[in-house]
Structure 1
Amino acid sequence: MQKTITDQNLCILIDILIKEGTRVVAPRQSGSIILYEPLDSGEQLALGTLPRRSAKETFFPLCETILTYERNCDGVKVADVDVAAFPETVLVGARPCDAAAPSILDAVFTWDYNDEFFLERRRKTTIIGLACATADDACFCTATGLSPQDSKGSDLFLTPLTEGGYACDGFTEKGKAFLGRYASLFGEQGETKPLPVSEPVAFRLDLAEIKTWLTENFESPLWQEIADRCAGCGACAFLCPVCHCFDIVDEGTDAKGARRKSWDACGFGKFTNHASGHNPRDIQNKRYRNRIMHKFKYYGDKFGQTLCTGCGRCIRHCPVGIDIKAVLEKIQKQ
């Protein structure tokens, strides 16, 4: 049966989790912007605005150590990172475009190798999703198969109510167990009504049609027009819930150091630079083409999923004003 939780009890729940030693990640004020970050108390919860960056950092940090090494008189000692030490985590207030992302990324992180860093964080994280009550011109989740009330990827899902507080549904065994454990903070569903939802501006994509065009037009001159403004800054990839490129670099000296995995982006000029000096994506329109091909063709070819959740962050924060919705519409009209 659907439960409810008040705003006050949601903050109390967060305080209890933190006291128990659980890492709670949620939208919070960070300077002048809202980010998904670990909370110190329930009072820091800020659910009114979509965070600037996505929630993927909860599972896939910007930079993480994967091993350390140290040379001593006996040789070189290599130490793996103990993934079992990763903390139990609850991600609170993940919008549908963010909550759906980890299950999309599962495919690539379990493809030809199980990335235990990503997978252990996934196993230890309970996702409490949150329905969106508002949308702006950049939102297009409905065009990628989601919606402002989509519970995909959430263990529990909160829906804002007109009287305040939230309706709460458990969708997985993990979510139902969580509801049972903290049952005293949840009430029964009464005559409450969901807050009216402002749907994203009508925007329709025929993803199959777009994929067909991409398959047949790798060398189209349209790519030059589409990518003419791209600065190759990588902001779109770093803000995206499902972009997942990374580099691995050894940092330190010959005496000691660490091997670290850090985010990368296919829009960077040296991303495909070979040791020989040859770069198969030597100009920016080739790199932007790869971004669109990866999201709307390659990932679908490999895993049967679209590598985009329509969050709109790449539109809002592109420094040169590239609108991926406009790009896809242009392709769709060809």
Structure 2
Amino acid sequence: MPKIITDQNLRLLIDTLVGEGKRVIGPKAAGTLTLYEPLASAEELSLGELPRRSAKETFFPLCENILTYEKSSSGTTVHDIDPARFPETVLIGARPCDVAAAPVLDAIFSWDFKDEFFLERRRKTTIIGLACTTADDACFCTAVGLSPADTRGSDLFLTPLAGGSYRCDVISDKGEALLAAHAGLFAETDTAEPVSLAEPQLGPLDLDRIKAWLDTHFEDPLWEEIAARCAGCGACAFLCPACHCFDISDEGSEKQGARRKHWDACGFGKFTYHASGHNPREVQPHRYRNRIMHKFKYYHDKFGQRLCTGCGRCIRACPVGIDIAQIIDDINRK
């Protein structure tokens, strides 16, 4: 049975969680932008718009140490980073296009190697999703099989109600546990109607048809046509909630330093550069082709799901106006 929570009690929940020592992440105003950031109090919560960057940083930081080292006259000491020290976290107010990417990332980080850094953060994070009531001309979640009220990946899910409260649906055991621990802030559902949800401009596409085209068009003039504009800047990958490429490098001096894991992007010219000097994707058309193939063919071949949730961030940020929604729509019409 769904519960309801008032906006006042939602903010009291945040302050309570912070007081309990939990890390609370939510949309927060940062200058002219809204970002998913740690909240010091409920006053910092800003639910008005989709954050500029995705929520994947909650589990997959832009850069993190995986070990540190120190060298002295007596030898070299290596200090491993212990994932058990990661804090209990509540991600609150995350939009469906961000939340739906979390189980997509689960597949890659627990496949042939279990990435304990990612998996421990996921295990310790409870996600409170929030339905979208607005959409701009870059939103296309409905085109890739999601919706503004999609609950996949959430533990609790909030739907705005007329009058300012939220209907709260329990999606998982973690969500049930959080609600039970703070039951006094929730009430039985009433007759309040949900507010109108967002309506992205691009409706459902035939994703199987798109994949079938990609299966047979590894070589196609389309890739040259698109990549003629692509600057290879990587903004699309860094803002995407589902992109997950990373590199590992050693930084520091002879005496001390760290081995660091940091984001990378398949659109960068040196992403596939071999030590031999060979680069199997030496030109931008090959790199952009890989982006589309990975999202709508390769990932599906491996894990049975798409690597795109239709958030539209890549469209908004692209400095040369490449529109991935238009690309897959065009493929769908072929």
Give your verdict on TM over 0.5: yes
- CA deviations on 1:57-105 (whole Å, 9 max, x unpaired) are 0000000000011112332111110111100000000100011111010
In structure 2, what is the equivalent of residue 177 of structure 1? 177
- Superposition deviation, residue 137 in structure 1: 1.2
In structure 2, what is the equivalent of residue 73 of structure 1? 73
Q: Does 1:132 align with 2:132?
A: yes
Runs of 4+ in 1 over 6 A off after TM superposition: none
- Superposition deviation, residue 232 in structure 1: 0.3
- Structure 2: distance between partners of 1:329 and 1:143: 9
TM (normalized to structure 1)? 0.98
Q: Does 1:47 align with 2:47?
A: yes
- Superposition deviation, residue 48 in structure 1: 1.1
Percent of aligned pairs with the same amino acid = 68
- Structure 2: distance between partners of 1:203 and 1:231: 29
In structure 1, what is the equivalent of residue 331 of structure 2? 331
Structure 1's unaligned 5+ residue stretches are: none
- Structure 1: distance between partners of 2:270 and 2:158: 42
In structure 2, what is the equivalent of residue 240 of structure 1? 240
Does the 8 Å CA contact 2:145/2:204 hold for their aligned counterparts? Answer: no
In structure 2, what is the equivalent of residue 119 of structure 1? 119
- Superposition deviation, residue 226 in structure 1: 1.9
- Superposition deviation, residue 333 in structure 1: 2.6
TM (normalized to structure 2)? 0.98
- Structure 2: distance between partners of 1:246 and 1:202: 31
Q: Report SS of the residue matched to 1:213.
A: helix
- Superposition deviation, residue 160 in structure 1: 0.3
- CA deviations on 1:216-265 (whole Å, 9 max, x unpaired) are 11111221012211000000000000000001000011211100000000
- Structure 1: distance between partners of 2:196 and 2:30: 28
Q: Report SS of the residue matched to 2:177.
A: helix
Structure 2: which amino acid aligns with 1:153?
A: G
Structure 2: which amino acid aligns with 1:200?
A: P
Q: Report SS of the residue matched to 1:319.
A: coil
In structure 2, what is the equivalent of residue 153 of structure 1? 153
Q: Report SS of the residue matched to 2:78.
A: strand
- CA deviations on 1:123-179 (whole Å, 9 max, x unpaired) are 000000000011111111111111111110000000000111211011111101111
- Superposition deviation, residue 19 in structure 1: 0.9
- Structure 2: distance between partners of 1:204 and 1:4: 31
In structure 2, what is the equivalent of residue 19 of structure 1? 19
In structure 2, what is the equivalent of residue 109 of structure 1? 109
- Superposition deviation, residue 266 in structure 1: 0.3
Structure 1, 142-151 or 122-131: larger mean CA deviation: 142-151
- Structure 2: distance between partners of 1:190 and 1:326: 41
Structure 2: which amino acid aligns with 1:277?
A: G
State how many pairs are aligned.
334
Structure 2: which amino acid aligns with 1:45?
A: L
- Structure 2: distance between partners of 1:226 and 1:296: 16
Does the 8 Å CA contact 2:235/2:317 hold for their aligned counterparts? Answer: yes
In structure 2, what is the equivalent of residue 270 of structure 1? 270
Structure 1, 276-285 or 17-26: larger mean CA deviation: 276-285
In structure 2, what is the equivalent of residue 208 of structure 1? 208
- Structure 2: distance between partners of 1:76 and 1:300: 44
Q: Does 1:84 align with 2:84?
A: yes
Does the 8 Å CA contact 2:134/2:197 hold for their aligned counterparts? Answer: yes
Structure 2: which amino acid aligns with 1:220?
A: D
Structure 1: which amino acid aligns with 2:27?
A: P
Structure 2: which amino acid aligns with 1:177?
A: A
In structure 2, what is the equivalent of residue 282 of structure 1? 282
In structure 1, what is the equivalent of residue 32 of structure 2? 32
- Structure 2: distance between partners of 1:198 and 1:27: 18
Q: Report SS of the residue matched to 1:328.
A: helix
Structure 1: which amino acid aligns with 2:225?
A: E
- Structure 2: distance between partners of 1:280 and 1:16: 52
In structure 2, what is the equivalent of residue 317 of structure 1? 317
Q: Report SS of the residue matched to 1:195.
A: coil
Does the 8 Å CA contact 2:159/2:168 hold for their aligned counterparts? Answer: yes
- Structure 1: distance between partners of 2:292 and 2:38: 32
